[in-house]
Chain A
Amino acid sequence: MAEIVLDNVTKQYPDGAVAVRDVDIEIADGEFIILVGPSGCGKSTTLNMIAGLEDITAGELRIGGERVNERAPKDRDIAMVFQSYALYPHMTVKENMAFPLRLAKVDDTTVEKKVRDAAEILDLTQHLDRKPSNLSGGQRQRVAMGRAIVRSPKAFLMDEPLSNLDAKLRVQMRTSVSRLQKQLGTTTVYVTHDQTEAMTLGDRVVVMRGGAVQQIGAPQFLYDNPANLFVAGFIGSPAMNFVPASLENGVLRSALGDVPLTDRVRSLLEGAEAPREVIMGLRPEHFEDARLVDDTVRSNGVTFTNQVDVLESMGSDKFAYFSLSGEQATSAELAELAADAGSADVPGGGVSLVARISATSSAVEGEPADIWFDADKVQLFDPGNGRNLTYRG
């Protein structure tokens, strides 16, 4: 058990490419922290630097207060779970889990006991004598976890440990990983590209982009107060809607109509030196079918009428998709998010919008619907640098 401190850590490859730039993270003892971001954002490199599998170019890494930059992985006393599980195919489950203990020259009875205990926690007791090739994906994943927990290391590092599992099992394993971490109370650094995993698992989430940390915070805080367009667009599913707007005399003019600035938004904007042209961000759940909103609430927001392109019923609620005429919001961050989601080259003129409305809504696909949204929940971004102008730090 130990805290892990990354102090201005930078990774530069011999060809000059910078993979990670000035990363500053303080991970408390026992904390479960998630590194999340699109592929190539440097999250895995950061993890590998903590593990010792990659050299640190500049900055300092401290585990339990000691500088470990120069230490070999085996001398850092941390365990790692790989995306591919990296189980030794020639060893049984038991031998796989015992391997780190055997290397550490632990005596036989202790090895036996620790492996039994770990197998019990992970429900692997009846599989101990099988080879990894005879196990299912979920079982292999648990063996990989078992190999990490048997030697009670200072910290666990997990590199997308669930992404090779199918969707249903992933959700199950997500809860068991979370439970296991709480039970053991071991500092854990977990890398994923899946924002749902990041939101559900971590005590804190580190959002990375292009080798730099964008924001660190508790999942709910990131969701409610994204520091910039990138975090706003990355966290949340379906993603936040972005509509270009211009600020004129205390009113936001946009394709959704004129949005009055509420007191909250106005006070946040005051110190922010907002430009005239901004990007307005709206979470899907801040929309509602106008007919289901009573009049007192209705006056706090804006109602617009648009044709529903696609209506998806999720049972508990409905997702309504619209396309508005007018320019799409553009910025470097949004382009990168679209590229990561693979939607960069999907044709679609105008602004597309998704609203999460009540399941009782009577909106019909292909017909116009009246949609209301809460003007107080609007977030405003600077298209130039992506900064959140309404950020409550």
Chain B
Amino acid sequence: MSHALRPPAEPADADPTATAADSKLSPKAKAALSEGKKAERRLGLLLCAPAILIMAAVAGWPIIYSVWLSLQRYDLKFPDRTEFVGLENYVTVLSNPYWWNAMWVTVLITVVSVAVELVLGMALALIMHRTLVGRGIVRTSTLIPYGIVTVVAAFSWRYAWTPGTGYLAETVAGGDPVLTEKIPSIMVVTLAEIWKTTPFMALLLMAGLALVPDDLLKAAAMDGATAWQRFTKVMVPVMKPAILVALLFRTLDAFRIFDNLFVLTAGSQGTSSVSMLTYNNLIKGLNLGIGSTMSVLIFIAVAIIAFVFVKLFGTAAPGGDGGGRR
């Protein structure tokens, strides 16, 4: 084996010691695995196998199946006309103004809600981190919105904005039915999203704040930094990994917005998100082909968001080694 690995150009009368060293090294370098190593590798694969099988069953197979469905004309209302049509469904969806409107609504809600949540969440995290008195009460009360079932919360928002009965409709909107117009409803939905998930953002950011050593802030104070400079020049850069993870989580989550919309507007007045539209086509319209095409497109959009965060911003994948770097 060692002969086979040696470069053929090597002269026959090469230094004998070097040859000896080579023949000693090359089998090792080429990883002729020892029995122990092999057994270890086999055990590793065996231990991973259940997880891999489950992931393949619950994630892999549905993805492959929806890609397959998206390439067919497949409407349960006309089951006889099912046939393979290639990318025709994609052309149909991507040239459809409803899809682009839904995409625009989704992006708007995502960007606005995540941006506002980041600012509010950071403020809340700082409060929770710094509070000395009544720490438990502050933290608990901050987390209440996150503890309420989204649909329940969405209904209370709907009632609050319903003219005649809702206090918000009477006080803020002056009795106008805000949920019957496009832009105001999107604002209400965004507000509901922000109210609901800011605590989650705050929790993730608070974990990030714990990564900033106290000494670092003291040192910055000694170096002449004002409170704002300590925040922007020391705290934020040091907790950047945590901020990016929080943004990634929330962006992916917000992009799939469904429940708040479903309860508040049900997608009327052109307020559908992409998830809403997909649901309407797939479940209500029974159009498996178009519906699957839309879910594949959402999947691609989410993958792009994750890619941008991980590759371009250098977000450490959750569970990866990045939060603890110094």
Contacts and interface: CB of A to CB of B under 8 A. Distances in A.
A74 B227 CA distance: 11
A53 interface: yes
Given A132-B326, A133-B325, A133-B326, A86 B218 contact: yes
A61 to B, nearest CB: 15
Interface in A59-92: 72-74, 78-80, 82-84, 86, 88-90
A104 interface: yes
Contacts of A88: 216, 219-220, 234, 237-238
Interface string A99-141: 1100110000000000000000000000000001100000000
B221 A89 contact: no
Interface string B201-238: 00000000000010110111111111001000110011
A89 B238 contact: yes
B134 to A, nearest CB: 15
A52, A88, A133, A147 interface centre (most CB from chain B within 10 Å): A88
Nearest to A78: B222
A327 B266 CA distance: 88
Given A74-B226, A100-B224, A133-B325, A82 B218 contact: yes
A145 interface: no
Interface centre among A78, A84, A147 (most CB of B within 10 A): A84
B240 interface: yes
A265 B237 CA distance: 64
Nearest to A51: B222
Interface residues of A, number: 24
Contacts of B240: 90
B223 A99 contact: yes
B224 A104 contact: yes
Given A86-B215, A88-B216, A73 B222 contact: yes
A132 B224 CA distance: 21
B322 to A, nearest CB: 12
B312 to A, nearest CB: 18
B315 to A, nearest CB: 15
Contacts of A73: 218, 221-222
Contacts of A80: 218-219, 222
Contact of B218 (A53, A78, A89, A103): A53
Contacts of A157: 222
Nearest to A77: B224
Interface residues of B, number: 20
Q: Is the interface of B mostly helix, strand, loop or mixed?
A: helix
Contacts of B215: 82-84, 86
Given A74-B224, A86-B215, A103 B229 contact: yes
A45 to B, nearest CB: 13
A90 B219 contact: no
Contacts of A104: 224
Nearest to B325: A133
Contacts of B216: 86, 88
Given A82-B215, A133-B325, A133-B326, A90 B238 contact: yes
Interface string A155-179: 0010000000000000000000000
A348 B234 CA distance: 52
A103 B224 contact: yes
B326 A89 contact: yes
B295 to A, nearest CB: 40
Given A86-B216, A89-B238, A90-B237, A103 B223 contact: yes
Nearest to A83: B215
17 contacts: A53-B218, A53-B222, A74-B223, A80-B222, A82-B215, A82-B219, A86-B216, A88-B234, A88-B237, A89-B326, A99-B233, A100-B223, A100-B224, A103-B223, A133-B325, A147-B219, A157-B222
6 smallest A-B Cβ distances: which pairs?
Answer: A86-B219, A100-B223, A86-B215, A74-B224, A90-B237, A103-B224
Interface of B: 213, 215-216, 218-226, 229, 233-234, 237-238, 240, 325-326
Given A99-B220, A100-B224, 13 more contacts: A53-B221, A53-B222, A74-B226, A79-B223, A84-B215, A86-B215, A88-B238, A89-B238, A90-B238, A103-B225, A104-B224, A147-B223, A157-B222
